């Protein structure tokens, strides 16, 4: 899992979908995976770097609210933190882990998925970032409690 970003991402998406399904939600009814974001004319929306905006999950609430969830996995620094032998190394890797998660948060802010939810649907002005490992999430909260 710590070798390739694509494998990490696929792992996080798989866990997110499993959680939604195990919560009683049905794919295609209550949520959609890998749904391409379209503009009002039905064209794919591109990021600043030219990549198509494809959030991991769009959740459909009964009141027509749509919420975007994107899974982000930051394991490399977290793994180093867990394996560190010295307090100094633990501190350094904890800071690197928080930097990595903050980078993912900044990336999601730039994508601004909610602004592309179609008119007539209710939307929230935030995205949910799913971190599939509780230990990695808890370390972020310990190091930077306001980041959540």
At CA 121, angle to CA 25 and CA 116, rounded to 5? Answer: 100
Phi/psi of residue 45, nearest 5 degrees: -90, 135
As to burial, measured by CB atoms within 10 angstroms (0-12 exposed, 13-18 middle, 19+ buried), residue 143 is middle
- Residue with the two structure tokens 């975007």: 68
Q: Are 110 and 47 within 8 A, CB to CB?
A: yes
| Predicted model pTM | 0.81
pLDDT at 59: 92
pLDDT at 3: 62
pLDDT at 84: 96
pLDDT at 49: 78
DSSP structure class, residue 54: -
pLDDT at 69: 92
pLDDT at 1: 57
Q: Along the 148 residues of the chain, how does pLDDT read in single tens digits? A: 566 677 777 888 999 999 999 999 999 999 999 878 887 778 888 877 788 888 899 999 999 898 989 998 778 899 999 999 999 999 999 999 999 999 999 988 888 787 777 777 888 888 899 998 899 999 999 999 998 7
């Amino acid at each position: 899992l710590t070798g390739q970003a694509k494998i990490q991402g696929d792992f996080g998406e798989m866990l997110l979908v499993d959680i939604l399904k195990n919560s009683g939600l049905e794919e295609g009814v209550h949520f959609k995976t890998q749904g391409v974001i379209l503009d009002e004319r039905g064209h794919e929306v591109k990021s600043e770097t030219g990549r198509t905006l494809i959030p991991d999950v769009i959740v459909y609430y009964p009141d027509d609210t749509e919420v975007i969830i994107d899974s982000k996995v930051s394991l490399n620094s977290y793994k180093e933190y867990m394996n560190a032998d010295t307090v100094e190394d633990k501190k350094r890797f904890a800071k690197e882990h928080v930097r990595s998660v903050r980078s993912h948060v900044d990336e999601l802010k730039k994508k601004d998925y909610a602004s592309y939810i179609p008119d007539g649907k209710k939307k929230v002005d935030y995205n949910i970032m799913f971190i599939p490992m509780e230990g990695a999430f808890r370390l972020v909260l310990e190091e930077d409690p306001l980041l959540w």
